[in-house]
A and B are shown apart, each in its own frame.
Chain A
Amino acid sequence: MSAAGVSSSRARTDGPLRVAVPRGALFGETLDVLDAVGVDTSAPRGDSRSLIFETDGMTLVTMRPSDVPTYVEAGAADVGITGKDVLLEQADRVVYELLDLGFGRCRMVLAGRRGDTRLGESQRRLGMMRIATKYPRIAESHFEQTGRQVEVIEVKGSVELAPLTGLGDGIVDLVATGRTLDENDLEVREEILECTARFVANRVAHKLRAAEIDALTAKLREATAP
């Protein structure tokens, strides 16, 4: 049993349903979807500095998207919304992925400098490419599956800097419109996968709060149906 050795979290799965809401790029559309299923989101939309908002029968906990799997796995949030990119990068977190919400669509790509041959040259003459990324696991598994050797360099901030300064031959990053790449004289070389927002649940909450979670899942499915 995979989770057997995880130290116990003190999170409880009773009281109002706790929903982990991602701040950042997915924030607006997440609140729109919650509106559509009848949750009052006026408080988190305000300019309050609070991180937790009580609404009718639900507690909205706002956080970085990459923290959502951590809170949901531990049961500190019962359910949550985050990007598929985050779930793939943290694939060892035990959360139930219940629904593709369809919004927040973006692509994980391999990009290099426009007109530059360094990616190919490094692979041909040095046997491996140096790839800077905020998503080391996704990058590693992509190159492993395509049979190429890479040195993955993890960075935390603007990854576009890496090929411009010689830190890497290319980058693996999430692209929504492609404008940032454009402005930094980078171009897409390969599409790795497409990511959208997902609705996830804690595994114990999914069992013990089955009716509430099923009802919310059904409403979200209806609200986000294409």
Chain B
Amino acid sequence: MIHPIPPGTRDVLPDEMRELRRLSRALVEVFEDRGYGEVATPAIEYDEVLARGGARTSESAYRFFDESGDLLALRSDMTVPIARLAASRFAGAEPPLRLCYLASAYRAVRPQRGQMREFVQAGVELIGMPAPQGTVEVIEVLEAALDAAGLDRAVIGLGDADLYRQLLSELGIEGKTLESLLGRLATHDLVGLEAELAAVPGLGDEQVATCVALAQMRGGSEVLEQARAIGGVAVERATAQMQATYEELERRGAADRVQIDLGLLRDLGYYTGAILEVYDPALGHIIGGGGRYDGLLGKFGADLPAAGFALYLERVHVAQMEEESRRERAVP
């Protein structure tokens, strides 16, 4: 007799669970070794709390009323719950706070896409340490976690969350056009971006070409030079920040697997400044992400700069398996 479970959820059986447990233990050990204490928060929160994360995160897929009529929601990531936790439980603590987690999060799925409603994230939050030191520390922890998972070919993309909003405002673009252009940048629809920019009155061909070219600049520190040649306040600020982060990483010998990416744009509302994405050549999807969220703690009454990342545990596991079999094939 087969009893179904909702699409996008799954059972984990012993062989897989053993491997997942080994992986998650290795990750949490890396976090703990670096002074990040593990915390847990409830899977359900007041909707109003999660909504403070901004537009995208407030779109919790699962909301319901409790017996007293309060609107509750399932968390869609751990960053907002931990911001709440830090502001409430560590109100008087001396910053910085170093916290880590291994927890399920919940998102909506589109039918027949093999998406998961429930998935596990392993990550850290560093609260109270500004850029670039805070960003650099988070990237170092991320690199140690990738090493512990055996993903020695993984790459970390480093971008800037505010670059395009500022750049486009600088060009006098606002309102609906601005949001539409940011949407095209987030999905990397470069054809649509070029066409829509070209239709903006008063924008020259060169400015259009510059915006499109900027979205494709990715690589080592040389891309900062290329970008700086473009000029303007937004580009100047973003490249200066990225350079400060990158130089500090270089100084600590941690820049090798970091790719500077001016085309990076994450679709979570709370990011400010540095943003991160994690890739492994064995996988077509990103395996983690993160960045700075200097404004989020302030929404909970604790005005502290912060940064963090989350690795998607199931995906890291797939990448780990692929990398293992690749290494086995490479041995003659």
Contacts and interface: CB of A to CB of B under 8 A. Distances in A.
A205 interface: yes
Contact of A99 (B191, B261, B322): B191
Interface in B71-107: 105, 107
Contact of B281 (A14, A94, A210): A14
B191 A6 contact: no
A interface, size bucket: 35 or more
A13 interface: yes
Q: Which of A6, A12, A14 has the most CB atoms of chain B within a 10 A radius of its CB?
A: A6
A204 B261 contact: no
Interface residues of B, number: 44
Contacts of B148: none
A205 B283 CA distance: 9
A67 interface: no
A1 B285 CA distance: 12
Contacts of B322: 10, 12
A164 interface: no
A5 B116 contact: yes
B261 A207 contact: yes
Interface in B172-230: 187-192, 216, 218-219
Given A10-B322, A97-B189, A100-B191, A5 B285 contact: no
Nearest to A94: B187
A100 B143 CA distance: 37
A6 B312 CA distance: 10
Nearest to A204: B279
Contacts of B268: 1
29 contacts: A1-B267, A1-B268, A1-B286, A1-B289, A5-B116, A5-B119, A6-B113, A6-B285, A7-B114, A8-B315, A9-B283, A9-B285, A10-B322, A11-B284, A13-B284, A92-B110, A92-B113, A94-B187, A96-B188, A97-B188, A99-B190, A99-B191, A203-B286, A204-B281, A204-B284, A205-B284, A208-B279, A208-B281, A210-B219
B283 A75 contact: yes
B282 interface: yes
Contacts of B277: 207
Given A9-B284, A97-B190, A203-B286, 12 more contacts: A4-B312, A6-B113, A6-B116, A12-B283, A13-B284, A73-B284, A92-B110, A97-B188, A99-B191, A202-B284, A204-B283, A207-B277
Contacts of A7: 114-116, 314
List of 5 A-B pairs having minimum Cβ-Cβ separation, nearest first: A75-B284, A96-B188, A8-B318, A5-B116, A5-B115
Nearest to B108: A5
A78 to B, nearest CB: 9
